[in-house]
Structure 1
C-alpha cells in the first residue's frame, strides 16, 4: 500500500494526479489527512476527502507528499509526518515529494546529500541536498519532482519503482495515447 498525505493547502493537481496514476497501475493507495478531519481544502479551494486520518496509518511501502506551500508547511510542522518520514527513510522505503513537498524532507533531516529537485520556492530549504533542475529525480529511495506540470511524470516514476518498468511504460502509453 502507498500512503499519500494531504493537508489543508495541498496542491490539487499533484494530489489527485498521484492517486489517480498509482490506482491506474492497480496499486493500492490510501489518502491520509494530516488534519483532524477527513476533508481538506486544497490550495485552490478544491475539497478532497481522505480515506483515513494520519493517526490510523499502519504499514505502507511508500509515502508520498504532494506540494502546495501551505500543505508542505503543514507536513513540515507535524511531528507525526516527520516521524513517519524518518521511519520510512530508516527502513529504506520509498519517500517521495513533489513541488514544495520536499520542505518536509529537509525538516525531517532525511536524504541529506542526495540529489533532489523541488519547486523554486522550496529550493532555499534544500541546502543540505544536491539540487537538480530536472523534472523528476530518483536518488536511491528518495523521489522528488518540481511542480504541478510534472505530476504525471513523477507518478509514472513511482509506478516504475513500485510495479516495474513494463507497467509504467504501458500506463504511459495509455495516458499519452502513444
Structure 2
C-alpha cells in the first residue's frame, strides 16, 4: 500500500539568483583571503618563518647584519651585527654606530658583548668594543624591545668607513 507524502510537490520557494550569485562571490573571496593569510603566516609575515629573517650586507663584507624583518609591539627584537677582519681601528677598537632615528623607536635591553663605551652624537650613537686582537672578527648582538608600531628604518655602520647597512623592519600591534 502506498501512501502519499503530506509534502506537496509544488512548494513555492523564492529564488533570488542575483543574491545567490553575490553570496557565492563573497564566499569565494573570503576563502581566497583566508588562504592568503594562512600562506602569509606559514611564510613568516606574522612571526618566524622564511620571510621573517633579513640580512643587510653580504658575506665577506667588513660589516653585515642579520635581523628580524617583522616584529610585534613591546616584544624582544634581535639584531646581530657581524664585524669582519679589518673592522677594528689601529688601537684594536671597533666603533659601531647606530642611527638615532632607529634607536628612538626601540629600547635597548642588552648588548653582547658589553661595549667599553657608548658615545652619543646628534644623529647616531657609537658603541665602542675593545678587541684583544685587531684582526679578530666580532659579533655584536642587540637585544631590543620595540616601542612603536609600523615601519622602522635605521642605519648601522663603522666609524670612519663608508659601508652603511640599511635596516628595514615592520612592527605589528
TM range (shorter): under 0.3
Structure having the larger proportion of residues in strand: 2
Give the TM-score normalised by the residue count of structure 2: 0.26
**Which one has the largest radius of gyration?**
2
Q: Structure 1 length as normaliser, TM-score?
A: 0.26
Higher helix proportion: 1
